[in-house]
Chain A
């Protein structure tokens, strides 16, 4: 139950509360470039979700078994328990992303003809999509950046985070495309046409998404209510302190 609620919280946080586009500003290029029509935006969103999941799986495996300090495979091969390959992280990740995009493209072209036609131009573009590298870096932070092994993300947490991040990207880009289709009928000042009005609309959208802030805490209380109720009865000061911090943080 505890594990399941952690997964739900990770998913909700990545998809809505800390939306990749509207909170972390990654994947802005396709968000502005490919959000002209809803069907294209949806295709792009699906392609990103697909690739981000594969890249997350591969980069978790590589980080856990090869790259982090004291990674099992590296230690066995070099017979040196202090070896730390994390300086190679970025190069390995970008290589993983570029090659997984390449393989996904070949595979889809061979076995899923209609899907390939739908994804088409978007697949190669994804290599330089920051959202994918960002997901890899988040996984790196939660695998090789934590000191306590109990806090380390497993493969399931990483996959859930990446896939729901991709879904969050899809939600944001589809909403944006819907708004832009309506904007075509509006009289936008000439200098703001194109990127300008898109960014301003995205700003208002980001304001709307800020409404999700704090939902995770509420949900955490509901999901872990029974366990937490006993804990907070013992330590009322701590929970009061965190809620106060959270209010001032806003």
Chain B
């Protein structure tokens, strides 16, 4: 039943950088842009996505032999919606202010392409261990991407990081960075930078291979 492919460990590592969901696959753009104006919000979002992704992947993997092909997307979505409701209630119960700040973006995890994509590509074909490590790797990669964008935006936009002042006093806050345009600009430039680094690394590998 199990297809040949990368081992669980390889899948875990792949998710973090080589197949990073945001920079490589360009998936899950809504939360990436919307909640990255501060580190705290971004990390809460990353944790919520990780919880939903791991749970949904494990459950999908467990029921993969019962799925009918034409109904599978609906089943994935309903599974994800259930776990998102759980995550939403937990955040509303223990972190009320954060829940208010994130607002509609927690329920919008339901339509986050990363989770449906992992359910479809990996969990519906692999065993539980593979699906779980894959989900962990992908969510770590997503958290890293959110952290990089949120760091740039929070440090430039409000001169702080995790709410701690890091820039010298008198730093003129680049207000535009915490507003919507800043999100698009930061992600666009970071995407370019990620591509550039990836290209440099690939070029070095080929030259070493020739030498």
> A residues near B, CB below 8 A?
22-26, 28-29, 32, 87-91, 94-95, 98, 127-130, 133-134, 137-138, 141, 189-192, 195-200, 202-204, 206-207, 210
Contacts and interface: CB of A to CB of B under 8 A. Distances in A.
B108 interface: yes
A192 B187 CA distance: 11
Contact of A202 (B26, B74, B184, B195): B184
Interface of B: 26-27, 29-30, 33-34, 73-74, 77-78, 81-82, 84-85, 88-89, 104, 107-108, 110-113, 116, 176, 179-185, 187-189, 191-193, 195-196, 199
Given A87-B85, A203-B184, A195 B191 contact: yes
Contacts of A134: 104, 108
A189 B192 contact: yes
10 contacts: A29-B27, A29-B113, A91-B85, A95-B78, A98-B77, A130-B30, A137-B104, A138-B104, A206-B181, A210-B179
User: Which of A24, A32, A137, A199: most chain B CB closer than 10 A?
Assistant: A199
Given A25-B30, A28-B30, A94-B78, A133 B196 contact: no
Contacts of B183: 25, 203
A111 B188 CA distance: 42
Nearest to A199: B188
Contact of B81 (A90, A128, A200, A206): A90
Contacts of A89: 85, 107
B194 to A, nearest CB: 8
**SS class, residues of chain B in contact with chain A:** helix
A204 B180 CA distance: 10
Contact of A90 (B84, B180, B187): B84
A25 B81 contact: no
Contacts of A197: 188
A206 B180 contact: yes
Nearest to B199: A191
Contacts of B187: 199
B78 A24 contact: no
Contacts of B113: 29, 128
A200 B187 CA distance: 8
A129 B116 CA distance: 12
A204 B189 CA distance: 13
A129 B108 CA distance: 10
A191 B195 contact: yes
B29 A29 contact: yes
